[in-house]
Amino acid sequence: MIISEQTISNFKEIIESNQQFAILVHVNPDGDAIGSAFGWHNLFKNLGKESRVIAPNDCPDFFKWINDANTLLCHDTKEAEVADVLLAAQVLLCVDFNHIDRSDKVKTLVENFKGKKLMVDHHPYPQDFAHEIISIPEASSTSEITYWTICQLGYRELLTKSIAESLYTGILTDTGGMSHNSSHPDTYYAVADLLTCGINKTEIHDLVLNNYPEGRIRLLGDILSKNLRVLYQYNTAYMFITEGQQKYFGYRPGDSEGFVNIPLSIKGIKFCAFFTETPEMVKVSLRSKGDFPANKFSAEFFNGGGHHNAAGGKIKGKLFDAMHLFEEGVKAYQDLLTE
């Protein structure tokens, strides 16, 4: 993975000429957001810099083992402290999102930030709100881009076990355990080098993928038995989770991680969705196989976007309305789904 020499030079000049850094991730941060953010955070520490990682809201508990992840500063609980950190910071590094709206209620603070703004991300169609941007949509994850950026900045010798654990976690989660977005050899070169840093791959898999509460398993069983719909005529399936189910099973952010992928294991299914009901809206996660454009479908029907095979969006209204719109959209795309 090659990043332009000019971009690398600009990044390095900004990093080496400043001392105070803030790192921002998107709302509802996932493994790639947390992994890449704390990879950068620990790199800055190794460079003798000061750094804080900020999120609009908290991340799932099964990422808190990552070095310093327990210091994540959440805007929804510490709004004043977030404002103070951003006021003091000379550089704001935005990772794993490329549209300012993904910063949620931190958006105004980002817009008004007086220092240099950097972006490192792998989602297509980046918005131009940062001074310097590293955007590689074909990369598996922002964590992989972070690895290659660190190397091309000349900081490979600072890549410690803690940084490697963070970045491996991001790559692992954003590829579904190397099941998608992971066809380029560069991804495996990056993982191979991270393994030389002494990380325990098996332990990380257990911490991230086998570390859920009992309620998650019971919730999944309830969803599969009651809320799975299969549209064989369109090679499509979808699942949903109601507010009532979330309350009954003690749902916490991250408990439904990976649920969206399950319908793709059904023979013949090439497109699927997972709907999450909230008081304000319905959140939509989409996954597909092969050539079906999940991101195009999301943009057209759910005000969203993302990658070709992994996208998301949202819609104001009731759960039934969202599912009805999805089925209507599937009918409109039936030629692609049934070819």
Q: What is the CA radius of gyration of the chain?
A: 20
User: What is the predicted pLDDT for the residue at 2?
Assistant: 85
Of 209, 226, 260, the residue that ends a domain is: 209
Domain holding 322, by residue range, is: 214-338
Sheet holding 73-74, edge to edge: 73-74, 50-55, 20-24, 91-95, 116-121, 132-135
Q: Which residues contact 173 (CB under 8 A, 6 or more apart)?
A: 30, 31, 32, 35, 141, 208, 257
Q: What is the pLDDT confidence band of residue 1, given thresholds at 50, 70 and 90?
A: confident
Average pLDDT over residues 294-318: 94
- What is the rounded average pLDDT for all residues in the chain? 96
Residues 261-268: contacts with CB under 8 Å, at least 24 apart? 261/176, 261/179, 261/287, 262/220, 262/224, 263/228, 263/230, 263/237, 263/238, 263/239, 263/287, 264/288, 264/289, 266/230, 266/237, 268/232, 268/235
Whether the per-residue pLDDT at 105 is higher than 90: the answer is: yes
What is residue 279's three-state secondary structure? coil
Q: Tens digits of per-residue pLDDT, 111-138? A: 999 999 999 999 999 999 999 999 999 9
**Same-domain status, 269 and 144:** no
pLDDT interval class at 39 (50, 70, 90):
very high
Q: Mean per-residue pLDDT for 3-31?
A: 97
Q: What is the pLDDT of residues 222-273, one digit of tens each?
A: 999 999 999 999 999 999 999 999 999 999 878 898 899 999 999 999 999 9
Query: In whole angstroms, what is the distance from residue 208 CA to residue 198 CA?
Result: 18
219 and 205 inside one domain: no
pLDDT confidence of residue 252: 86
Per-residue confidence at 143, pLDDT binned at 50, 70, 90? very high
Give the pLDDT confidence of 251-262 residue by residue, as tens digits: 987 889 889 999
96: domain CATH number? 3.90.1640.10
Q: State the total domains in the chain.
A: 2
Please name which of 119, 122, 327 lies closest in space to residue 230, comparing C-alpha atoms.
327
Instruction: Please state the rounded mean pLDDT for residues 275-291.
Output: 95
| pLDDT at residue number 213 | 87
Query: Do 264 and 178 reside in the same domain of the chain?
Result: no
